[in-house]
Structure 1
């Protein structure tokens, strides 16, 4: 089972990375934030829906049925992948001269990317893919902070699926299925957070850009400033109101604050990195995905020990305090990010 779980994660990780990249390929600069946010909706909704299905099916059909549920959803998607076209402009352009060379028997036709990479060796590619993400993180404080912050947010989000049964089961007497239904608040949170985020993108980013005003990458972080404050507020509200004498909707509202803010901050950070370091965006996204996965994996492991050692209130207070410390980091990045980028050897 452990070996199969390894292969599941190993072969599933490229799909998680390719989805957002494909949405970026097929949308223009003005609609890209909206397209990427739809990707975020499904990313946050996936574990919530999975918990709901598991809460109602596993008690009656056994734990193996949860694996069959994955097969039912993944099977048609695997077939669909066989018919999906490539979306990167570089790949489409690369295939065009190949057809021209084949039809004309003239080998002189080359794309710019072919000419630029003709002297690049396999060692150069491995360095670009495996070493460069860590080098940029180590030498650039702003990128290092965003990696740590996004990893912390993913860890807290994943640990909530461990905290929920602890709270809504023993405290409020809910069954596994009912606890899963409460997780629908994550989907509601993402949808509600989209309203102010889309409004800012439309009026604060797209409208000035169409009018010819040049915006800095730090201008994209403005929604993250507000969202960063709501995260610790929501965590504190969840931790300190999860009591039998307080209605279950109150701590659930705290989760809504935190989850909606998670999505907004992650979107802002991804856009910021892509605009600040476009030349190394692929490497940075790869390194950031690895950091998120590792820290989120740790979040699943320390959820129960944290609760057993400190209790729910103090444990959630610790997580809220960590997020509160990171609030200052977002404000520093917004205020001094341009100076840090100018000093970076990786700035473009």
Structure 2
């Protein structure tokens, strides 16, 4: 854009000096008014209907992307536990102890917990798709050493790197779902994505035990290699970039090239923080939240124990159902259907709790609070309802693990545990996001790190504990630990606002 000039006037020489001064001032003023400001060159979307905005995609295409991303998350999560079915063959072939073989599971989960602190910030600079493509490529590549391993050292190291590479879909992919749908349509696609990382570990033993019962353990990884490669191809060819700041940067680059005007820019290009600074903050802030925020620490420990128990069951179920009921390896895998069905049922309660949230919100407004305002504690009812279900499920499972009791009974108990777990996670995750709005990513990263460390540790002692204490008392011990932590969601629902007033990272609204 150029400034407007004053047209020539035929009688301009007859103007007085004063008239000329007035004319110059008027021209200068008009020029200043027409001179574009820097904000006139900011590239932005005109709304959700803007063709450049991912939210304007067709419903079919958006759901296709959600399904691909969710299936990839399912693949990564399933890889963690599908390995469990190979324990028996690996112990014999490599002459390794049960604990050493279990390290292949534990270190994979450690990689899952560490990676989001690095991959999630990188997506803020480069976009979601580059992170997906590169990380999933290395995920596929590092399955190969697992498939051809000649010793346990190769297996353990490869599994750790594989978990580290695959974690992008457990930390970044939720953002893709949010990029595609407006808030009022987000519940259903987010429900599908949220369920996939939790169903994956339960489906792993079901698939892996079938493979390892009928063929060699290496086919465990050949199947994973085929599945993961197919997911990589789907991501590469069918999933576009959806991160708005990166899309706007591309649009600004296009405008600068087409117009030759370097004043066009996207907001992301004006960021005053570097990649190194962002990575550093992403690495230390989750630990500050765990150290300085009692609410965050308590809820993270609660979630961590629950996930630890889930991973402990990968070994414990094999002991219980083989010894008590004479199950074969492929039958042991089927026993995880109880937890799987329980998690699906727990997820289906989401619409009811969403209605409950809206009722709490309306009551909050009726009490004289600002319309549209909310309290993070309104997000906790699913966790409050799920807590007793998790305890009941563990007690049910534990005290029915006798050979004289039909095998379906403890499996039904495990379904209640699975239902409670998914409800607790749902409530805690949304609470952390609302309670720490400026540090939501760090709060979730803290939760992910803590959960992964517990999930890595519990399988290392789980089988020994079940053998030493007995199936009933070992399950009872886990139930009592869960019972001790169960009141936390209610405590924070009742007194969370007062606690947030004294927080340096959260605050009462």
Deviation at 1:207, TM superposition (A): 6.8
Contact 1:36 1:267 in 2 (8 A): no
When normalised by structure 1's length, the TM-score is 0.92
Cα distance in 2, alignment partners of residues 208 and 111 from structure 1: 39
Q: CA deviation at 1:136?
A: 1.7
252-261 or 210-219: bigger deviation:
210-219
The count of corresponding residues between Structure 1 and Structure 2 is 345
Q: Summarize deviations over 1:47-78 as a string: whole Å, max 9, x none.
A: 23221222222122110010011112111101
**1:243-322 map, 5 Å:** 243-322=402-481
CA distance in 2, matches of 1:78, 1:177: 29
After TM superposition, list the pairs within 5 Å mapping 1:157-176 onto structure 2: 157-176=310-329
Aligned to 1:102: 257
Q: Tell me, what secondary structure is at the counterpart of 1:109?
A: coil
CA contact under 8 A between 2:389 and 2:416: conserved in structure 1?
yes
Deviations 1:62-104 (A, max 9, x none): 1001001111211110111213112223322333222222222
Cα deviation 1:143-182 (Å, max 9, x = unaligned): 1112111111110111111111111111012111112112
If asked which structure has higher relative contact order (CA below 8 Å, sep 6+), I would say 1
CA RMSD of aligned residues (A): 2.0
What is the aligned partner in structure 2 of residue 237 from structure 1? 396
Correspondence 1:65 to 2:219: yes
Q: Pick which of 148-157 and 101-110 moved more.
A: 101-110
Show structure 2 runs of 5+ residues with no match.
1-154, 366-370
Which residue pairs with 2:357 in the alignment? 205
Return the alpha-carbon distance in structure 2 between the equivalents of residues 100 and 146 of structure 1.
47
Q: In 2 relative to 1, CA 145–31 (structure 1 residues): closer, same or farther, beyond 3 Å?
A: farther
Q: Distance between the aligned counterparts of 2:171 and 2:484, measured in 1?
A: 29
**Is residue 242 of structure 2 the alignment partner of residue 90 of structure 1?**
no
Which stretches in structure 1 are left out of the alignment for 5+ residues? none
CA distance in 1, matches of 2:185, 2:298: 27
Partner Cα separation in structure 2 for residue 206 and residue 90 of structure 1: 31
| CA drift at 1:41 | 2.6
1:305 to 1:30, Cα distance in 2 relative to 1, 3 A: farther
How far apart, CA to CA, are the structure 2 residues paired with 1:27 and 1:336? 34
For residues 222 and 205 of structure 1, the distance between their equivalents in structure 2, rounded to whole angstroms, comes to 8
1:12 and 2:166 matched: yes
Checking the alignment, whether the CA contact within 8 Å between 1:44 and 1:186 is kept in structure 2 is no
Structure 2 counterpart SS, 1:339:
helix
Greater CA deviation, 20-29 or 308-317? 20-29
Q: Distance in 1 between matches of 2:435 and 2:381?
A: 15
What is residue 192 of structure 2 aligned with on the other side? 38
Judged with a 3 Å threshold, the aligned counterparts in structure 2 of structure 1 residues 208 and 138 are, in CA distance, closer, same or farther, namely: closer
In 2, distance between residues paired with 1:220 and 1:195? Answer: 16
Larger radius of gyration: 2
2:340 is aligned, of 187, 202, 212, to 187
Q: Which moved more, 1:244-253 or 1:24-33?
A: 24-33
Aligned to 2:277: 124
TM-score scaled by structure 2?
0.64
